[in-house]
Amino acid sequence: MKPQDIVAAKSSLWIFGYGSLVWKPDFKYRRSQVGYIQGYKRRFWHGDNFHRGNDESPGRVVTLIEDDDATTWGVAFEVSGSQLEESLKYLTVRETVRGGYVTKMVDFFPDGDDRLPVQALVYIATADNPLYLGPASPQEIGAQIAACRGNTGHNLEYLLRLAEFMRSSCPQVEDHHLFAVETAALTVVSYLLAAQ
């Protein structure tokens, strides 16, 4: 479903963020809620040659990989009225044109007891995308992240802000992949600093 079709059908919409959107949405929204989606795992398997890397040295950012047993935590933002069209226009450039992501509707479960799920739009990079880098060990991913920067900043900042979000907003969740990549990247950085 195209974002413009969603606008035509709804007066408000939830948008689920699981990467940089959790700390830097850059669009106006009515409210936000920490929570999770099911059936997907977050992985640093997508390349970024604009925001956190370049053509010669793409950074690594997260996408979602289907996995029936997995849960991914993040933030959903409710947009309504004029915010709806503005946010989707902005995200189409940020995620689809520059990032190579496609959109899907998923069930978002707000954190807390007795909260009913809501339908949310999510952006997912697929394996048939030219920027898709695929699986690698946490050590390889961490080393790549430690070395890359793009127009928005250092790839390491992206990783550290995502890890900080998880620790502060979802302290009960152990995101093994994220924290293993963080440890590997910080190890590389400490070696580089020690070598100076």
- The CATH number of residue 146's host domain is 3.10.490.10
pLDDT at 192: 83
Taking CA 163 as the corner, what is the angle to CA 158 and CA 168, rounded to the nearest 5 degrees? 125
Q: What is the pLDDT of residues 52-101, one digit of tens each?
A: 999 999 999 999 999 999 999 999 999 998 899 899 888 887 776 665 68
Q: What is the pLDDT of residues 9-57, one digit of tens each?
A: 568 999 999 999 999 999 999 999 999 999 999 999 999 999 999 999 9
pTM of the predicted model as reported, rounded to 2 decimal places? 0.90
Quote the CA–CA distance of 152 and 172 in Å, as a whole number. 30
Q: Supply the residues annotated as catalytic.
A: 95
Quote the CA–CA distance of 87 and 63 in Å, as a whole number. 20
- Check pLDDT > 70 for residue 4: no
Read off the DSSP letter of residue 45: E
Higher pLDDT: 8 or 63? It is: 63
Number of domains in the chain: 1
Q: What is the pLDDT of residues 94-134, one digit of tens each?
A: 776 665 688 999 999 999 888 899 999 999 998 888 899 99
44, containing H or E segment: strand 31-48
Taking CA 37 as the corner, what is the angle to CA 111 and CA 53, rounded to the nearest 5 degrees? 110
Read off the DSSP letter of residue 131: T
Q: How far apart are the first and last CA of the chain?
A: 51
pLDDT at 9: 59
pLDDT band at 145 (very low <50, low <70, confident <90, very high): very high
Instruction: Please give the residue range of the domain that contains residue 53.
Output: 3-195
Higher pLDDT: 196 or 1? It is: 196
pLDDT at 99: 58
pLDDT at 93: 76
Quote the CA–CA distance of 157 and 86 in Å, as a whole number. 27
